[in-house]
Structure 1
């Protein structure tokens, strides 16, 4: 399974905002930091705002900040929100396309795998992905990815 670029960017935005809770962050700043088109990033941010993950303030001194505490946001929740289609195979949404439908056990195996994947992501909060404070040993995922 491969997550869409939309989801990748959403996770980057949330991590960046979580690492910068002391200030508002602009879309232009993130666009330059991640080398992502501003217009594409706007679509991602608008989706995050609609879903309550991010709060945006317009005008001078405006910018973006997390809409909820980082410990209350799970990666699984973000993935489910951003991915339009989590069907691993076409027959998940249209059983009529499967010529093996009467005896196919693959669909159940794939559904179980998807549930396990999402459960694993549900166990990881945004707070766990953030850069640790200086002198802290926290941030287990951030350190592993560095």
Structure 2
């Protein structure tokens, strides 16, 4: 499974908003400068995050974007599900009917189990975890 840029950048945006959390909305241009994501791509990413209730947008000269949930309640798994539509290694994990062989497929169980393990791991990490100790996520674990 390869995460799309949308999922990775959504995580980066939410982390940026959480790190700079205040009552003052962050303008898209400031988000772009601090994250390295283009304004146009940020605008595409913000739509599903707003719809999911993770952020709110304020219009006007002093407008921008504010995190609308506590960072400890936003899991990386939630972000991936919002941006990717799910956490599944194959299409047949989410929809058995997509393949005529699903009922007898000996490998499908591997994909279902692996998808579940990945989802549990991503759900165990919150934006607050990344804020507090990003170095605790070692590649050697």
TM tier, shorter chain?
0.7 to 0.9
1:69, CA displacement in angstroms? 0.7
Aligned to 1:7: 7
> Kindly tell me: are residues 81 and 102 of structure 1, through their superposed partners in 2, closer, same or farther at Cα, counting changes over 3 Å?
closer
Aligned to 2:99: 95
Instruction: Tell me the distance in 2 between the aligned counterparts of 1:82 and 1:109.
Output: 24
Aligned to 2:18: 18
Whether 2:132 is the aligned partner of 1:143: answer no
Aligned to 2:67: 66
1:45, CA displacement in angstroms? 0.8
Equivalent residues, number:
134
> Kindly tell me: are residues 117 and 26 of structure 1, through their superposed partners in 2, closer, same or farther at Cα, counting changes over 3 Å?
same
Contact in 1 for aligned 2:80/2:87 (Cα 8 Å): no
> Kindly tell me: are residues 61 and 69 of structure 1, through their superposed partners in 2, closer, same or farther at Cα, counting changes over 3 Å?
same
**TM-score, normalised to structure 2's length?**
0.84
Instruction: Tell me the distance in 1 between the aligned counterparts of 2:54 and 2:65.
Output: 10
Contact in 1 for aligned 2:80/2:86 (Cα 8 Å): no
Larger radius of gyration: 1
**TM-score, normalised to structure 1's length?**
0.81
1:85, CA displacement in angstroms? 5.3
In structure 1, list runs of 5 or more residues that go unmatched: 131-138
Secondary structure of the residue aligned to 1:42 is: helix
Instruction: Tell me the distance in 2 between the aligned counterparts of 1:41 and 1:127.
Output: 21
In structure 2, list runs of 5 or more residues that go unmatched: none
Taking only aligned residues, the RMSD between alpha carbons, in angstroms, comes to 2.0
> Kindly tell me: are residues 49 and 105 of structure 1, through their superposed partners in 2, closer, same or farther at Cα, counting changes over 3 Å?
same
